[in-house]
Chains A and B, each alone.
Chain A
Amino acid sequence: MNLLSLFVLIPLLMLLGLWIARNVNQVRGVMVAGSSLLLILAAYLTVSYIGLRQAGATEEMLFTDSISWYAPLHICYSVGVDGISVVMLLLSAIIVFTGTFASWKLKPLTKEYFLWFTLLSTGVFGFFISTDLFTMFMFYEVALIPMYLLIGVWGSGRKEYAAMKLTLMLMGGSAFLLIGILGIYYGAGGETMNILEIVQQKIPTEMQRIFFPMVFLGFGVLGALFPFHTWSPDGHASAPTAVSMLHAGVLMKLGGYGCFRIAMYLMPTGAAIWGDFFLVLTTISVVYGAFSAVVQTDLKYINAYSSVSHCGLVLFALLMMTRVSATGAILQMLSHGLMTALFFALIGMIYGRTHTRDIRQLSGLMKIMPFLAVGYVIAGLANLGLPGLSGFVAEMTVFVGSFQNPDLFHRTCTIIATTSIVITAVYILRVVGKILYGTCQNPEHLKLTDATWDERFAVICLIIAVAELGLAPYWVSHLISGSVEPIISQLIH
């Protein structure tokens, strides 16, 4: 059996296990066992992928497999990974693993919560391993729908509104996406749904002109593309901790990944036609998100807008269409995934204690919960691009890569986008200064306790991942840039 299919099989077995489980401890047992298996599997996949590449494997995708599923439409269950999907799988496995610990004490309906959570991760893993358009789309939908229930049932604040808004906007995006995918299918002759085969065909320019924006927008909504990002602040604010983590950490990456792997790879001419238009939108996202974050007062809103800015940078770098910038985009996805998950985990833990996320009501937390506060500072520093943590590596690759595109328009956009590093510093330090430093004003907060072991474990795992990527980026960058090559060479010619 193919190694990659395990990424879908394990979550499915976990679903079964959860269904059978009788009490909370059994539920936790299943989750820990399953998510650690996934993590080990992802690590093993990474190692063996690198090993195969070093041994001289030159195919674009490794571990490929294909089973016919619905022959009349040429739908297959086909899988395969390249460097980009390998790092995305690794990222997802880390987030699912730490997310499990971050929602250790979640109540009520623990079992049901984890059921939906696992279903969501099935979708995510399935999406990253697929090379078939239709299968990919199916997994994409599997990942989106549980979000509605997870926010609607276990969320906080205006949860029904937020859940509905998020789902409807993302579904709107996937409606475009479906049309786009069908367009690609017929444009490429209607003989295959496999990405690797479609790319050999040439889709007519007129069709690319029509369908590129549909696919790009469809995925772009999930990647928080301006002006379709407004689901993100409300959605994140209402979502429970682990769902925010998974959503910002992994689900938003589906957007960037799809834009690159489907829209740009399969329709390079469309990308050339529409590139400048979307580049303007992404540049706006980058700066606009950062500026909006400056005046927010809810911790999660700040992070949601910061995600708009950082995910904007992913799409921005992709549209710069150089090898280095595309590598940077993938690194940025990885880095943003890790540090945002860390941020949301910490915000969730702080909120769980103080029952408020309003920065005007929080102060002096450094004295009260030093562990969480230090974690928050580290996450903040990673976010504003401190060397030695992941943000720096990703941002610098993006900026150096974007600068390789020498015409004036791209140059101008690059320089505008770089200003975000200053604004990021403004909103991060504002929050850190307000909520962590100073003396505690609220006597109720003095009684609060620091992180418990499960929380510490989740936070430490994420910090290690963030620091690893920041300190030794060579192997990841190398892994990604090799796989970016075929896609970029499509785009340049």
Chain B
Amino acid sequence: MDYTILILALPLLSFLVLALAGMKMPHRVAGAIGTLSLGAVAVLSYLTAFSYFTAERTAEGTYPTLTPWNIDWLPFTQQLHIDMGIMLDPISVMMLIVISTVSLMVHIYSFGYMKGEKGFQRYYAFLSLFTFSMLGLVVATNIFQMYVFWELVGVSSYLLIGFYYTKPEAILASKKAFIVTRFADLGFLIGILIYGYYMQTFTFTPSEEQLMKAGMVLPWALGLMFVGGAGKSAMFPLHIWLPDAMEGPTPVSALIHAATMVVAGVYLVARMFPLFIGFAPSVLHWVAYIGAFTAFYAASVACAQSDIKRVLAFSTISQIGFMMVALGVCTSMNPHEGGLGYMAGMFHLFTHAMFKALLFLGAGCIIHAVHSNEMETMGGLHKYMPITHITFLIACLAIAGIPPFSGFFSKDEILTACFQFSPVIGWVMTIIAGMTAFYMFRLYYCIFWGKENKELHAAHVPHESPLNMTFPLMFLAAVTLIAGFIPFGHFVSANGESYDIHLDIQVAATSIVVALIAIGLATWMYAREKQPVAEMLARRYSGLHRAAYKRFYMDEVWMFVTKRIIFRCISTPLAWFDRHVIDQFMNFMAWCTQAFGVTVQPAQSGRIQTYTMWFLGGIILLTLVLLLF
């Protein structure tokens, strides 16, 4: 599998070429370089996956972990060194497929979406950089390599959110995204430092001896690493950057802020899963509680947003919450007894990446057509945009959990795992799944049916997008249609052994009924031209509606922390202290020296009489001293 190095090398090369020489290229050439290299990466990823999963299993019935490539990049001590390499195991190979597929679709889509934009070449350069970093993150052979690429995806995300760098909102959003995730990464870094010191290795598999000796610090290390993961994966209360990140170009939102980068935290937990189960099960359950709360919070906020990308952003946060819950409810490595969640979470990651990318790309087509993100400019669009409409509907059905679409299967496994853990979590997650169906169909009706903004549409008739934008939609819709039937448990499961997915009829029936009720409710409230129920509810519970619209004022809380506490209460007084106390003390010392000089200056008057007086006085004094003592 030596060719796997090309999976990393090609996007890096295309980034370098585009960054150094891109500005002089015509748009088409730059786009073609990025897309072709990504196409090659996708082909290589599929090839890797094919040969990996068709190869022999080991004696224990698991797929072997391969390391086709590994170099010592930065040595610290004998045991501790940052390596750069490629590690193939079931989840990293699965991630390769997800990333390369979505990224390729986004590359193709962007040809149409970004057409004629200034900085087209820069856009493709950043896309390549992002893809490179994300691929490097998932194939990392050790936790520090993961951190290296973790930071790189953070920066590429920063650059892409701030792509429209003349827009003040974009600048603020990019800054916020970077700083919030950096804050979380601090936890990750300290976690790595603790892990490295006590385990004497940065690899994912510490020696038995070290584990026996220092297993009790692992909960701390893993908990802190999860903080980093929570930052990237937008878990409450570190989620605040994600909705604002929607200021970036829509294809970027599809790639980074829906399908790939934001699931890095989930991937991190999955990567450390054996250690979590073995040494920190309570931390793992906290992951579940945080995930569940985030899922609920984001779903309730999503019900009240009016910007379609914001709705999708909160829906992403909520769905990542589902994945975290799935991992968090695991109690063992055996998928038959309490370890089902691992497989379920990874499965949901896979299906969610496809249908959420589809939703975002669909939203991109809509925004392209009406030149706005706000729902009030839409409505009735099904007449104008048939392909977008159908594919969007497929994705909505998938996320709502209606069979036979992919989301149903993965969500059903998650719910089964939750019910195995505790019925409370199970019911809570079922209700949140219902909320998901409700707000997604609210979104769907408000865009494609409901009240049409006829004035606006008469002035500027919305149109279907060109083929290079609709092709990715159709492709992803096809994937969404069939992905549910992939025997996912054969490839990925907690202990690596093959696991047959079987539906729990009771759970499946409940979730379908809940989803159908929620869709029915959304249809009743939003499908028609007039929406009296929705307006009445918004009026009667205006406080709640407003709070949800304002995202329960979490942004205000964060603004308070950063502006008031960091700027006003720490930095400003410190800077003042530095200038007025420390510096003035130094100036005071200088002044003292000078003042002393001025004081003794008269002694050097140059008058002989004075000198003689002092001279005689001195002699008399000395004589007296000598005589008396």
Chain A residues packing against B (C-beta within 8 Å)? 165, 168-169, 227, 230-231, 234, 288, 291-292, 294-296, 323-324, 327, 364, 366-367, 381, 384-388, 392-393, 396-397, 399-401, 403-404, 406, 414-415, 418-419, 421-422, 425-426, 429-430, 433, 436-439, 473-474, 477-478, 481
Contact = CB atoms under 8 A, between A and B. Distances in A.
Most buried by B among A231, A294, A366: A294
Given A418-B186, A429-B179, 14 more contacts: A165-B590, A230-B578, A230-B582, A291-B570, A291-B575, A327-B76, A387-B149, A392-B148, A403-B196, A415-B190, A421-B182, A422-B182, A429-B178, A438-B168
A437 B247 CA distance: 15
Closest 3 CB pairs of A and B: A294-B571, A437-B165, A387-B148
Given A295-B572, A422-B179, A433-B172, A403 B75 contact: no
Nearest to A478: B75
Given A292-B571, A386-B152, A386-B155, A418 B189 contact: yes
Given A323-B77, A437-B171, A473-B73, A385 B566 contact: no
B165 A403 contact: no
A429 B152 contact: no
B165 A396 contact: no
B627 interface: no
Contacts of A294: 566-567, 571, 575
B73 A399 contact: no
A292 B575 contact: yes
Nearest to A400: B76
B74 A473 contact: yes
B166 A324 contact: no
Interface string B547-583: 0000000000000000000110011101100100011
Nearest to A401: B76
Interface in B167-186: 168, 171-172, 174-175, 178-179, 182-183, 185-186
B180 to A, nearest CB: 10
A366 B575 contact: no
B385 to A, nearest CB: 33
B575 A295 contact: yes
A364 B166 contact: yes
Contacts of A230: 578, 582-583, 586
A433 B190 contact: no
B485 interface: no
A148 B77 CA distance: 43
Contacts of B158: 429
Nearest to B72: A474
Interface in B78-101: 80, 82
B162 interface: yes
Contact of A169 (B168, B571, B572, B586): B586
A392 B151 contact: yes
Contacts of B622: none
B566 A387 contact: no
Nearest to A403: B193
8 contacts: A165-B590, A230-B586, A234-B583, A294-B566, A421-B189, A425-B178, A439-B166, A474-B72
Given A418-B190, A421-B186, A433-B172, A477 B178 contact: no
Contacts of A426: 179, 566
A428 to B, nearest CB: 10
Given A230-B582, A294-B567, A399-B189, A288 B574 contact: yes
- Which applies to chain A's interface (DSSP): helix, strand, loop or mixed? helix
B166 A437 contact: yes
Nearest to A397: B76
A292 B574 contact: yes
Nearest to B165: A437
Contacts of B50: none
Interface in B581-608: 582-583, 585-587, 590
B154 to A, nearest CB: 9
B614 interface: no
A278 B165 CA distance: 43
Contacts of A385: 151
B583 to A, nearest CB: 4
A187 to B, nearest CB: 29
A205 B151 CA distance: 46
Interface string B606-625: 00000000000000000000
Contacts of A414: 193
Contacts of A419: 186
A327 B77 CA distance: 11
Contacts of A422: 179, 182-183, 186
A291 B182 contact: no
B72 A437 contact: no
B165 A397 contact: no
A399 B586 CA distance: 32
Contacts of B175: 429-430, 433
A439 B170 CA distance: 12
B127 to A, nearest CB: 17
Nearest to A415: B190
Contacts of B73: 473-474
Contacts of A381: 155
Contacts of A169: 586
B524 interface: no
Contacts of B3: none
Given A227-B582, A415-B190, A473-B73, A296 B575 contact: yes
A227 B575 CA distance: 13
Nearest to B149: A387
Contacts of B166: 364, 367, 437-439
Contacts of A366: 165
A396 B188 CA distance: 13
Nearest to B73: A474
A481 B78 CA distance: 12
B249 to A, nearest CB: 16
A478 B81 CA distance: 12
Contact of A477 (B75, B572, B574): B75
A471 to B, nearest CB: 9
Contacts of B586: 165, 169, 230-231
Contacts of A393: 74
B202 to A, nearest CB: 9
Interface centre among B73, B74, B570, B572 (most CB of A within 10 A): B74
A403 B574 CA distance: 28
Interface string B472-499: 0000000000000000000000000000
A324 B178 CA distance: 29
Nearest to B151: A387
B74 A397 contact: yes
A175 B175 CA distance: 45
A396 B74 contact: yes
B140 to A, nearest CB: 12
A437 B587 CA distance: 38
B155 A295 contact: no
B197 A403 contact: yes
Contacts of A473: 73-74
Contacts of B196: 400, 403
Nearest to A473: B74
A438 B72 contact: no
Contacts of B72: 474
A430 to B, nearest CB: 7
Interface in B126-179: 144, 148-149, 151-152, 155, 158, 162, 165-166, 168, 171-172, 174-175, 178-179
Nearest to B19: A374
Contacts of B574: 288, 291-292
Contacts of A421: 182, 185-186, 189
B74 A474 contact: yes
Given A165-B586, A433-B175, A477 B567 contact: no
Nearest to B136: A387
Given A392-B148, A392-B151, A406 B179 contact: no
A425 B80 contact: no
Contacts of B152: 386-388
Contacts of A415: 190
